[in-house]
Structure 1
Amino acid sequence: MNPYRLVFMMGLISLFADIASSGAHAIVGPYMQIFGASGFVVSFVAGFGELLGYGLRIVSGHLSDKTRQYWPFAIFGYMVSLVSVPLMGIGKSWPSIAVWVFTERVGKAIRAPARDTILSYGARNIGTGAGYGLHQALDLVGSLTGPILVSAFLLAGMGYQASFFFLFIPAMVAMLLMVSAKRNYPNPEKLEPREHGTGQKEISRPLWIYIIAVSLVGMGFSDFPLVAYHVKKNMIMEDSQIPLLYSLAMVVGALTAFYFGRLFDRIGIYAVAVGVAISTLFSYCAFLGGSAGVILGIVLWGVGIGVQESIMRASIANSIHHSARGRVFGIFNASYGIFSFVGSAIMGLLYDQSVVYLVYFSIASHIAAFTALLLVAGKSFNQR
């Protein structure tokens, strides 16, 4: 079995899945505003969706490790998520739209720990950072393509509902690729080299600090729907241009994931710290600038996405024994999700009161995260 091919196939699955989910993500904020949702509501729905998407990974990660049924968890999770995307278009009120947003995130919670564990078996053979970086780069290509398609649909006058419905096509392609990957790699754990079958099964103190640092990044990282809401509310750009902002972020994120993945294999946690430092001022640019500020803010936001979705996970794969990775990935992502939800709720409230306070909160969270990362950079996560 070829480990590089497994990583590439998992990346292709994420690419097509993200065409669907990111296409929906790019327009759900403005779509909810049509039905009377406020800035707080949009931010709360996005944040609570992320809480479900990350928080429930504790359960799915534990169960996937306990049963060793990684493929069934991954396939079922993708199915739940990808069916939910076109159903967002049938909503006749913002609460009904929110239900499908939440369902899509639950599907992601079911699949993510199992998918990350499967991916780790291949990535450990080609360089953990490089493997996760390649996977995330392909993932973000999908995140780029989805909003571009949606923007084209809106420019063609198809409307929001039709745009959601058409996203079912890439969703089906992702499911077919998933079935093919399972058929070709029914036992991916056999790819794990014997010398790499080591690592701790519990979370050490330095690793806990790392998890908290990553969670602080999530707390201060605004969801795109709130940025899109801000742009639409203040008429900074046309509706059809808003999804293109998300595409721009995904281009930056894909390049960041690929480059920082290789950087991580050389300098470790310092690469994560550099990425966090670069993205610190995204909120200042996106919420306090005009059109140029929004574009610069989105570029910095894209750097943050690229780092968060690639090398932050690689640290877990490097330090945890393969038999416990699903559980630890679950804890890692659950902590991130809880902090993200709290941060989204706070930023939604602050947005309705004063955008300046939102910016202060975001920057403070990033500075705290950067400081915590420097505390553990260069240390082994295997030490107590």
Structure 2
Amino acid sequence: MLGAWRFVTVFGTISLLADFTVFGTISLLADFVYEGARSITGPLLASLGATGLVVGVVTGIGEAAALGLRLVSGPLTDRTQRFWAWTIAGYTLTIVTVPLLGIAAPLWVACGLVIAERIGKAVRSPAKDTLLSHAAAVTGRGRGFAVHEALDQIGAVIGPLTVAGVLALTGNDYGPALGVLALPGVAALALLVWLRLRVPEPARYETPTVPTPAPLPAPEATDDGRAQPSPPLPPTFWAYCAFTATTMLGFATFGVLSFHMVIRGILPAAAVPLVYAAAMGADAVAALLSGWLYDRVGAKTLAALPILSALVPVVAFTDRVWLVVAGALLWGAAVGIQESTLRAVVADLVAPPRRATAYGIFAAGLGAATAAGGALTGWLYDTSIPALIITVAVVQLIAVGLAVTVIARRRSAPARS
């Protein structure tokens, strides 16, 4: 069977053990595709006659679908145990819809494709995270998810830059710019099928010698042959969800940050993507660092997230260019922790039989809190920047208290083999 580290790196970025004929990876290539498309979703819809309201509603529905629908796909994945099937289906939906956006003339068709692409992420994510968690049990969950996230960002940077280059060469023709994304999409699907054949059962990595949560008892059948309801998720998991939701409730989105950059005349609009690319670099570095620390000092690493989140508005919402850029880098570092270490902790709190369900619930709560946090910080920005800074600081202080609760519960939990 493929080595665990090879599985993690192939799933997240360039395989460290494969030769250069396999120069790419599933998540890198998939990020190339959908991040490239998301970088021009607004202008594309506008070119088809959409208003700002339509763009906001469509992209909002898409993000809600990407996170909220995991409440459905997560439990279904656990119930069917067909992790590869759900993963392949989700990636296929994303990879097919993106190039079609380039030839979607009616506005309503383009809107449907934008939402469908996000649904593809909802379909695959619980299954993909569960598969990755099995391999990361050997490599160290913090490091495994961190490497996955850090290398993911390569695709997240290359995709938008490629689309921008094609637009420049074709005079802002969206067809070729989105059509070119079919190439990495096909490569991603081919590599995914190859990986499925090479590693049919990644759960084998999670051996009894690896410290994981105690397995949940199998549901017993009732007298009429029906299965009993699955055991509840552990209380520590719910406390952890409360912590992550709270810290995201006080987290400013990059949309608000970029709005500040342009509306205050701090940076020209053309420079904002460069700042975003730099933030993605900070994302990668923070993911690796927090993952390394998590494997060594445990859940105490979580305290870094509310601290970073509280610092973002203090630094970013100023009128000095270097401080605004520094604030964006802090924002990227916080996102790196969110996308790597937060997911790794879920795998350590919930045993495999209900892990996909847990990932679905975790993502849905995170998504709802992110949406609320974006609205809160945006409204406070329009009202008073000092009020925004104070509110975020109070929310993150509460999050620190919840993090302490999670750490204490993990320490008091019985030892697991």
Q: TM-score range by the shorter chain?
A: 0.7 to 0.9
Q: Give me the whole-angstrom Cα distance separating, in 1, the residues matched to 2:182 and 2:269.
A: 22
- TM-score w.r.t. length of structure 2: 0.81
Q: Deviations over 1:141-188 (max 9, x none)?
A: 221222332343445464262433333322222222111111111111
Q: 1:292 to 1:85 in 2, by over 3 A?
A: farther
Distance 1:65 1:36, change over 3 A: closer
Which residue does the alignment assign to 1:8? 9
| Aligned residue type for 2:361 | I
In the TM superposition, 1:149-228 aligns within 5 A as 149-156=162-169, 158-159=171-172, 161=174, 162-196=176-210, 198-199=213-214, 201=216, 202-228=232-258
> Any idea what the Cα deviations from partners look like across 1:230-250, whole Å, max 9, x if unmatched?
545566544543332222111
After TM superposition, the structure 1 stretch with the greater mean CA deviation from structure 2, 49-58 or 366-375, is: 366-375
Aligned partner of 1:273 in structure 2 is 303
Deviation at 1:354, TM superposition (A): 6.0
Between Structure 1 and Structure 2, the one with more helix by share is 1
How far apart, in 1, do the equivalents of 2:109 and 2:257 lie? 22
Alpha-carbon distance in 2 for matches of 1:318, 1:97 = 40
1:135 matches 2:148: yes
Residues 49, 101 of structure 1: 8 Å contact kept: yes
Out of 213-222 and 285-294, give the one that drifted further: 285-294
Q: 1:65 to 1:8 in 2, by over 3 A?
A: same
Structure 1 gaps, min length 5: none
Q: Distance in 1 between matches of 2:314 and 2:396?
A: 12
Once residues 309 and 190 of structure 1 are traced to their aligned partners in structure 2, the CA distance between those partners, rounded to angstroms, is 25
Change (3 A) 1:283 1:324: same
Is the CA contact (8 Å cut-off) linking 1:26 and 1:246 kept in structure 2? Answer: no
Contact 1:220–1:343, Cα closer than 8 Å, also in 2:
yes
- CA gap of 1:311–1:134, structure 2 versus 1, over 3 A, is same
**Number of the residue aligned with 1:258:** 288
Offset from partner CA, 1:83-134 (integer Å, 9 cap, x none): 2333444567887655333222211111001001111111001111111111
- Report if the CA contact (8 A) 1:73-1:110 is conserved: yes
Measured in 2, the distance between the counterparts of 1:96 and 1:238 equals 32
Q: Hey, what's the Cα distance between the residues in 1 that align with 2:93 and 2:124?
A: 9
CA contact (8 A) 2:252 2:312 kept: no
1:28 corresponds to which residue?
41
- Return the alpha-carbon distance in structure 2 between the equivalents of residues 362 and 147 of structure 1: 31
Deviation at residue 263 of structure 1 after TM alignment: 0.3
Seq. identity, % = 33
Distance 1:377 1:119 in 2: 24
The letter for the 1-side match of 2:39 is: A
Cα distance change of structure 1 residues 117 and 92 upon mapping to structure 2, 3 Å threshold: same
1:82 to 95, 99, 107: 95
Task: Indicate how the Cα distance of structure 1 residues 16 and 97 shifts in structure 2: closer, same or farther if over 3 A, else same.
Answer: same
Kindly indicate whether residue 248 of structure 2 is the aligned counterpart of residue 247 of structure 1.
no
- Please tell me the residue identity of whatever aligns with 1:327: T
Q: How big is the alpha-carbon RMSD for the aligned residues of Structure 1 and Structure 2?
A: 3.0
Cα pair distance change 1:21/1:267, threshold 3 Å: same
* Greater RCO, 1 or 2 (C-alpha within 8 Å, sep 6+): 1
Say if 2:308 and 2:331, in contact at 8 Å, map to a contact too.
Answer: no
Q: 1:256 to 1:21 in 2, by over 3 A?
A: same
AA partner of residue 81 (structure 2): R
Counterpart in 2 of 1:334? Answer: 364
Q: 1:68–1:376: structure 2 CA closer, same or farther, 3 Å change rule?
A: same
Q: Does 1:321 align with 2:363?
A: no
The answer for the alignment partner of 1:297 in structure 2 is 327
Q: Give, in angstroms, the shift of residue 345 of structure 1.
A: 3.9
Give 1:59's aligned residue. 72
Alignment CA distance shift 1:358-1:84 (3 Å): farther
Asked if 1 retains the 8 angstrom alpha-carbon contact of 2:215 and 2:353, the reply is no
Q: Is this contact kept in 2: 1:217–1:366, CA < 8 A?
A: yes
Closer, same or farther: CA 42–240 of 1 in aligned 2, 3 Å: same
SS of 1:280's equivalent in the other structure is helix
Q: Could you say which residue in structure 2 is the equivalent of 1:120? A: 133
Structure 2: segments with no counterpart, 5+ residues: 13-24, 217-231
SS of 2:200's partner is: coil
For 2:117 and 2:10, the matched residues in 1 are separated by 22
Matched residues in 2 for 1:55 and 1:313: separation? 16
Look up the equivalent residue of 2:124 and give its one-letter code. Answer: R
Greater mean deviation of Cα atoms: 191-200 or 134-143: 191-200
Q: 1:176 to 1:160 in 2, by over 3 A?
A: same
Gap change, CA 1:356 and 1:47, over 3 Å in 2 = farther
- Maintained 8 Å contact 1:57/1:112: yes
CA separation in 2, counterparts of 1:172 and 1:24?
15
Distance 1:363 1:215 in 2: 15
Pairs aligned (count): 383
